[in-house]
Amino acid sequence: MVRMHIEWLKAAIDDLILLSEIENNEHITNLIAFHAHQAVEKSLKALLEFKAQEVPKIHKLQTLIDRTELNREDDEELIQLLDSLYIESRYPGDMGLLPHGKPTLEDAREFHAFARDLFEQVCDLLEIDKDALREK
């Protein structure tokens, strides 16, 4: 039997591995933001799947967080930024831009740290060894 929450977490860890590889590249900070968003989204969907809740076909992080009942109030501004960058990155004219342009390298590193932290929080809640997820 396929345990879908594990599959969601494996997909999230792939994004996190990629983020580790590209997080210092100042030319692709918009892509760093995109993959950070993806890692967070997949982690949240893993939690919903584990709790046998409907996994909606949406990408809005705040809506997903609200459904999981995780307390991430301190991260609301960051979550809103990631949501806006994710949507914009899908349209070539905007390419995942903040109002002042592409995310800075500092922004990108903060997005990556947030994605890693939330992923680890979900793994802890589900009592899953995150290192074992890499063994496919």
The CATH number of the domain where 49 resides is what?
1.20.120.330
Q: What single DSSP character describes residue 96? A: S
What is the domain extent for residue 77?
4-134
The pair of structure tokens assigned to 131 is: 């290192």
- Domains identified in the chain, total number: 1
pTM of the model: 0.88
Structure tokens at 115: 């994605």
pLDDT in tens, 64-112: 999 998 888 898 889 988 888 776 555 555 545 555 578 899 999 999 9
Residue by residue, DSSP assigns 108-132 as HHHHHHHHHHHHHHHHHHTT--GGG
Burial class (CB in 10 A: 0-12, 13-18, 19+), 42: buried
Assess contact for 94 and 80: CB atoms under 8 A: no
Q: What is the pLDDT of residue 112?
A: 97
